[in-house]
């Protein structure tokens, strides 16, 4: 019927508006969160870094111990820890420039990840890795080296 067609068009229009608003806000939040971490928590976050608002960075004991290079992407569910209360460790975490940190990865305190590295989904990074590495596994291992992104 004509009334149901009008109703369907109105519902589709509302969903389209909601989707546009969501995309607009997401675009703003992606750039706001690194600024917030830089200025409120004094983290060393490079330029053009994208951090999912669902990523978990250590904001408690040692937030200044997190260092992220330029053009790095940190996806959702990532844990970056700069302290371990159980072992009494405080260690700075360095993530190089042009890196990609996959969903649900865990980066433990004191780890250095080189430039141009890819950390696979669900990896648990417990040690340092050089530049141009692809890292995956639990515990994380270098599965490919001399890769260029």
Length of the chain, in residues:
149
| Residues annotated catalytic, as ranges | 83
Strand-pair partners of 84 = 89
61 to 14, 56, 72, 85: CA distances (angstroms): 44, 14, 24, 9
74 touches 47 (CB < 8 A)? no
- CA atoms of 43 and 33, how far apart (whole Å): 11
- Sheet-wide strand order for 44-45: 44-45, 66-68, 93-95, 112-113
- CA atoms of 50 and 72, how far apart (whole Å): 6
């Amino acid at each position: 019927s004509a009334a149901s067609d009008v109703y369907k068009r109105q519902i589709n229009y509302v969903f389209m508006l909601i989707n546009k608003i969501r995309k607009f806000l997401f675009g703003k939040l992606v750039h706001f969160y690194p600024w917030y971490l830089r200025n409120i928590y004094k983290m060393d976050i490079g330029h053009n870094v994208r951090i999912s608002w669902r990523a978990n960075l250590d904001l408690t004991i040692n937030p200044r111990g997190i260092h992220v290079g330029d053009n790095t992407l940190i996806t959702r569910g990532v844990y970056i820890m700069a302290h371990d209360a159980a072992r009494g460790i405080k260690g700075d975490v360095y993530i190089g420039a042009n890196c990609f940190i996959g969903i649900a990865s865990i980066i433990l305190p004191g780890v250095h990840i080189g430039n141009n590295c890819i950390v696979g989904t669900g990896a648990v990074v417990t040690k340092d890795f050089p530049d141009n590495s692809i890292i995956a596994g639990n515990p994380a291992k270098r599965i490919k080296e001399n890769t260029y992104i």
